[in-house]
Amino acid sequence: MKLFSTLALSAAVAVLAMSGSVSESLAAKAKAKPKAAAAAACKPAGSLKTAACGPSGCTMQRCWADGQWRQSLVVCLKPWCPK
């Protein structure tokens, strides 16, 4: 029983030591990362753009009234997709 409690205590100390160093490195990384610029609003509402293409077709994104691009149910065949 004494061996088990010694192992449990040493494991707990190791976990605490690792969590402290991980949180410090994450905090340093968060400070160093520059803020990303906000994406430009899309215009006009209802317009479509190509999101991702596969071997035969592409998925599309639609511009919504709030100025955000969102996934659309519309798909297109590869040679006729808008840019």
CA gap 25, 19 in Å, rounded: 10
The answer to pTM > 0.85 is no
Kindly state whether residue 41 falls inside one of the protein's structural domains: no
- The residue range of the domain holding 6 is 1-36
Kindly state whether residue 73 falls inside one of the protein's structural domains: yes
**Interacting residues of 2 by C-beta distance below 8 A, sequence separation 6+:** none
For CA atoms 13, 18, 21, 27, the dihedral sign is negative
Q: Dump pLDDT digits (tens) for 34-83.
A: 665 556 678 788 888 888 888 888 999 999 888 888 998 888 888 888 77
> What confidence score (pLDDT) does residue 11 get?
67
Neighbours of 57 (CB within 10 A): 14
Please state whether the peptide bond connecting residue 44 to the residue before it is cis, i.e. omega within 30 degrees of 0: yes
Residues 2 and 32 in one domain: yes
Which CA distances in Å does 58 have to 21, 30, 67?
45, 35, 22
Residues 26 and 52 in one domain: no
Kindly state whether residue 43 falls inside one of the protein's structural domains: no
Kindly state whether residue 76 falls inside one of the protein's structural domains: yes
> What confidence score (pLDDT) does residue 79 get?
81
Tally of domains within the chain: 2
Residues 32 and 1 in one domain: yes
Residue type, 78: K
